[in-house]
Amino acid sequence: MEYTDLYNELGVSPAVLGYSNAVLEELAPRFAELDEVAEYNQLKVIRAMQKNKVSAACFAGTTGYGHDDIGRDTLEQVYADVFHTEAAVVRPQITCGTHALATALSANLLPGDELLSPVGKPYDTLEEVIGIRESLCSLQEYGVTYRQVNLLEDGSFDYDGIREAIHDKTKLITIQRSKGYQMRPTFSVARIGELIAFCKNLKPDVLVMVDNCYGEFTERLEPSDVGADMTVGSLIKNPGGGLAPIGGYIAGTQHCIDRCLYRLSAPGLGQDIGASLTVNTALYQGFFLSPTVVASALKGAIFAARAYEKAGFHVVPDGTESRHDIIQSIELGSEGAMRAFCEGIQAAAPVDSFVTPVPTDTPGYGDPVIMAAGDFIQGSSIELSADGPMREPYAIYFQGGLTFPHAKLGIMLSLQKMVEKGYLTL
């Protein structure tokens, strides 16, 4: 069967295929740069695995208390080496990214302390963690206050506002690298470094946590390379490489990580407890694959940006900007267009391609959310997926793709559905 016939069977018309291939031709030089970043990060991971003598014994896993879990302990050292930190916690007991962030925050903030976000509103699920939206067990309930300095109109840091907001109670500064469900730009590691230097210059003992979700391996450096005390993320996003079935990580200073371990399990237990069960092989192999998987996802994101930008939509980042996370947002302008886009992504999936995504209420989110994904790992957003809250400006957030051909197919089918439903003309 010809290439075009195969695409036709999958539902891609010759017009959409032609349009897509023309867009891709322009992108070849950018894709070559992404391959270089992937190569660099691949070497970083291999070097850390070799240095820590990863062996078959590391894949065995433990049960019960998990004492002497060489696989867990070695993996945490591998992460610490890749992130250039003193320590790391990388465990299946961390249920998701929000849990990792909540652990890092609640472990390092005490009653009377203040938390500052100098980059505007944090990710939706953190609103309840902090107590911006009231919740049982929020930091606010424990007497931790919160202050926020919004970004300036042009997306830059409000340094005057930040200077005024940092005072003697300010204990921890949280910086979200990725845009989350907002149309603001994602921050490069270099920009995060400038912000950290500014804050630490004003208050040298302030702790800085970076929410690194979706940012890992998109650049040569990580936030931990530019002064973050804790760098935090989810294993069902970038660093799990699509293979990790669960988990989160926190990489940082020994002092911060010790506190995180006590908060995660119980005071006095810490590092030595927490069985790795059967997940070790997936966590190691996923981390090993992550740099190239992230490159595939980035290629998909850039392709989507260019394809929709050329068709007249507002996209963030645009098709030429440098990339600091794997998220692509596209302002689709209506609920109907969001549904059509998601139907296309869903139709391209290897799993659950036959279902139709619809907006639903989701725990932790304020508005109904639509999600398209046909994942091997439930909810994994390093796999090709699209989601977004049903609110103005009806922006879809597109991410992932374990392989570039799959990401390409998903974007083409989204274009196809948009064309068929009259939201787009090529």
Three-state secondary structure call for residue 243: coil
- Kindly list the distances between the CA atom of residue 280 and the CA atoms of 167, 243, 256, 283, 291, in Å, as whole numbers in the listed order: 43, 10, 24, 5, 18
Please state the separation of Cα 7 from the chain's center in Å.
Answer: 30
CA distance 388 to 148: 24
Q: Which is nearer to ligand PLP, 145 or 176 (CB)?
A: 176
Q: Which of 41, 85, 98, 414 binds ligand PLP (CB under 6 A)?
A: 98
Three-state secondary structure call for residue 173: strand
Q: Which of residues 226-285 bind ligand PLP (CB under 6 A)?
A: 234
Residues 164-203, mask of contacts with ligand PLP (x by CB under 6 A):
------------x-x-x-----------------------
Q: Among the candidate windows 33-41, 96-104, 313-321, 333-341, which touches ligand PLP by CB under 6 A?
A: 96-104
344 binds ligand PLP (CB under 6 A): no
123 binds ligand PLP (CB under 6 A): yes
Strand order in 170-176's β-sheet? 87-91, 248-252, 230-234, 207-211, 170-176, 114-117, 145-148
388 binds ligand PLP (CB under 6 A): no
CB of 239 to ligand PLP, least distance (A): 12
Q: Which of 12, 87, 94, 96 binds ligand PLP (CB under 6 A)?
A: 96
CB-closest chain residue to ligand PLP:
97
Helices (H), 265-356: 280-310, 335-347
CB of 407 to ligand PLP, least distance (A): 18
Q: Which of 66, 71, 92, 97 binds ligand PLP (CB under 6 A)?
A: 97
136 contacts: CB under 8 Å, gap ≥ 6: none
* Site of tokens 């302002």: 331
Which residue ranges make up the site for ligand PLP (CB under 6 A)?
A: 96-98, 101, 123, 125, 176, 178, 180, 211, 213-214, 234
